[in-house]
Amino acid sequence: MKYLIVGLGNIGEEYANTRHNIGFIVLDALALNARVKFSSARYASLSKMKFKGRTFVLIKPTTYVNLSGKAVKYWLTKEKIPIENLLVVLDDIALPLGFLRMKKKGGDAGHNGLASIIERLGTIEFPRLRIGIGDDFARGYQSEYVLNRWTKTEEKIMIPRIEIAVEMIKSFATIGIELTMTAYNNK
């Protein structure tokens, strides 16, 4: 069993540790936990790991968030992974800070990375793990908010949530999305 786990974020030091890069941050934690490293590959930083007989292909697209679909489509095809074994990890301003929600499918909810993936795959039917970054910004300042770094208070909330997100990814691949949603959503 093979899974494509995609963490959304932007490349470059200026985006490191920003709210929009929570997908990268979670994948870095997952890779660190498995003692694997990322290397440069086509359209993405790539790592592979094994967990309970499953192979995880981890990618952090290097196409920037808004063109993530290009990397997702390429790696799904290259690795011959069925779409139901795809999991996209991303930030969500509609969820309170630190809130974790796994979904089987859905629209883009205004997230340009999801919009790109939906456009490239031609479907909304793929799993995603949405991580709440809150919406503490003035009208018209959404871009600045998501591209800013975490505050110290936010970091204290998010660090344990990142570990739970890693557990959710492993759970998704071992017990399936339904049981994972039941065990973790809204907790």
pLDDT in tens, 33-82: 999 999 999 999 999 999 999 999 999 999 989 999 999 999 999 999 99
CB 23 within 8 A of CB 107: no
pLDDT band at 183, cuts 50/70/90? very high
Q: Provide the pLDDT for residue 140.
A: 81
**pLDDT tens digit string along 4-42?**
999 999 999 999 999 999 999 999 999 999 999 999 999
Please give the average per-residue pLDDT across 128-143, as a whole number.
Answer: 87
Give SS3 for 48. Answer: strand
**pLDDT tens digit string along 69-105?**
999 999 999 999 999 999 999 999 999 999 999 999 9
Residue with the larger pLDDT of the pair 105 and 146: 105
Active-site choice (20, 70, 101, 130): 20
pLDDT band at 161, cuts 50/70/90? very high
Q: How far apart are CA 177 and CA 131, in angstroms?
A: 16
20 catalytically annotated: yes
Give CA torsion, residues 166, 186, 183, 125, to 10 deg: -70
Q: How far apart are CA 121 and CA 52, in angstroms?
A: 28
Q: Which domains does the chain have, with CATH numbers?
A: 2-184 (3.40.50.1470)
